[in-house]
Chain A
Amino acid sequence: MSGPPRPDALSLRGLSVHYGVLPVLEQVEAHFAPGRMTAIIGPNGAGKSTLLKAALGLVPVAAGEVRFFGQPLAAARARIAYVPQRASVDWDFPVRAVDVVQMGLYRSLGLLGRRTAAHRAKAMECLERVGMQDYALRQIGALSGGQQQRVFLARALAQGAELFLLDEPFAGVDAATESAIVSVLQGLRDGGATVVAVHHDLSTVPAYFDRVLLLNRTAIAEGPVATAFTREALGRTYGGTLPMDPELAAQ
């Protein structure tokens, strides 16, 4: 291999976030290597979602530095796609699946750019990649939770980003959706993109992800699944309440 090393897709240095006086994140150090798929895991209230939101400037940062591809957020926005938690969306909104996906084209359209057949074709292609092409004209609230999640992944695909930040992409979805999403995400990674997902199910971490960030208000451990996803590190992350079959950690 030649050339200088690619900068981390996302790096956090000393990131601290407070809600009021309550510290949610303290001095988090984390580096998400490019072309890898990383799970952020930790107990409820550990600040996993907040970490993504703080990196994206959606919640105020008390201290620390956030860099995307070595640049500040403003310079890198076009290279980032964010899939918020499903609960944050208004499901009664009069919008169809294909319209939601076209929202991912906002940056290429701007304020008054006209949507063309090419934009629609792009949106349909993204729906096809997540297996939702047959539901393009359904109102978003009329879809199941898993189908909605796939539409939001399609919207992220339409953005043509290099870094995908997903907040609990597998929460409340069916098994078929979970495997569809995993294969799309792994396909993105194999194409050189970086994937970071807040994840809950410890048993699927080794199968789905390359790397983990164990988080409980601060970074407990970070690295490849093989070396960082250990019983000892999990014990330190979850305290005494490790929600995991001990045999899995031996894998």
Chain B
Amino acid sequence: MEADFVILSLTPILIGCFAAMACALPGNFLMLRRQAMLGDAISHVVLPGIVVAFLFTGSASTWAMMLGAGAAAMVSVLLIEGIRRLAGVEPGAAMGVTFTTMFALGVLLLEGSGAGAVHLDVEHALYGNLESLIWLDATGWESLVDPVALAGLPPELGRMAAVFALIAIAGFIFWRPLELATFDEGFARALGLPVQAISLGLVAAAAMACVAAFTAVGSILTIAMLICPPAAARLLTDRLPLQVALSLGLALLSAVGGYVLAGYGPMWFGLPNSLSAAGMIATLSGLCLALAAAFGPHRRAA
């Protein structure tokens, strides 16, 4: 049983945790900047980028996917700006049009290209593949100190942990400028802060988290993790450092709780099949938000 847990559940849970936390960090600031939709857009446009990268390179390597997704994110930012200016519609509508179209394009490319037969498919894109990221080389907890077994860890784990670490370190270093530029842009600019570069850096961090998380956990979970934990945390506190810390805690709670509930919950109720882990994690994070909205001490007077 213990060996089963290490082989089948440990790595998916860890990957889910890192993905959730990597998304929640930039999500805090996107939410405060009222740019939550931008995260939504990024996580959708990643799909066509990955498919095109796959078609060009014929491989599902990390770098090809990152580049493809990055390029798609840039194209979509240009499209959003272009639609907004040319058609004169509000930014939210421009984003909505762009990301649904790009995502749909991604689905068509996926189905029409044969890429689906090889490695990618629509289901995979929507709710990821968390359960398949198992650690076959493990034999039990002792494998954690066994170099041979460690070499067989799913590559997604290292990638997701590295992305989380990178975003966390950048967030720590640029905390003050980010806080200042988000709260009072005019004042930040008068101090001489490069507010444009700060916005761009934030979007880049969100895009990085989305791309890394997308390949592991799918777009539904990515969107949920960007916004739900920070939004719930905002309702629990009036201090930014605490909000970010709480959002990380809620992200962890959703990731661990969601995975366990999806994997073992049906069994407890005598049902035969397990549920989608990504779906359960996203549902749980939405539930956290609903609870915070109902009972949080810092709800805004509506």
Contact = CB atoms under 8 A, between A and B. Distances in A.
A109 B193 CA distance: 14
A88 to B, nearest CB: 5
B293 interface: no
B26 to A, nearest CB: 16
A57 B183 contact: no
A103 B180 contact: yes
Contacts of B182: 90, 93
Given A58-B190, A106-B176, A95 B185 contact: no
B interface: dominant SS: helix
Contact of A82 (B176, B179, B187): B187
Nearest to A52: B190
A82 B186 contact: yes
Task: Sort chain A's interface into a size bin.
Answer: 20 to 34
A58 B186 contact: yes
Contacts of A94: 32, 234, 237-240, 242-243, 298
A112 B179 CA distance: 13
A51 to B, nearest CB: 14
B176 A90 contact: no
A94 B300 CA distance: 11
A90 B186 contact: no
Nearest to A115: B176
Given A56-B189, A139-B238, A106 B180 contact: yes
A80 to B, nearest CB: 7
Interface of B: 32, 173-174, 176-177, 179-180, 182-187, 189-192, 234, 237-240, 242-243, 298, 300
Given A103-B179, A106-B176, 6 more contacts: A53-B186, A57-B189, A93-B240, A95-B238, A103-B187, A111-B176
Interface of A: 53, 56-58, 74, 77, 80, 82, 84, 88-90, 92-96, 99-100, 103, 106-107, 109, 111-112, 139, 155
19 contacts: A53-B186, A58-B190, A80-B190, A84-B184, A88-B186, A90-B184, A92-B300, A93-B32, A93-B183, A94-B32, A94-B237, A96-B238, A99-B239, A103-B180, A106-B176, A106-B191, A111-B174, A111-B177, A112-B173
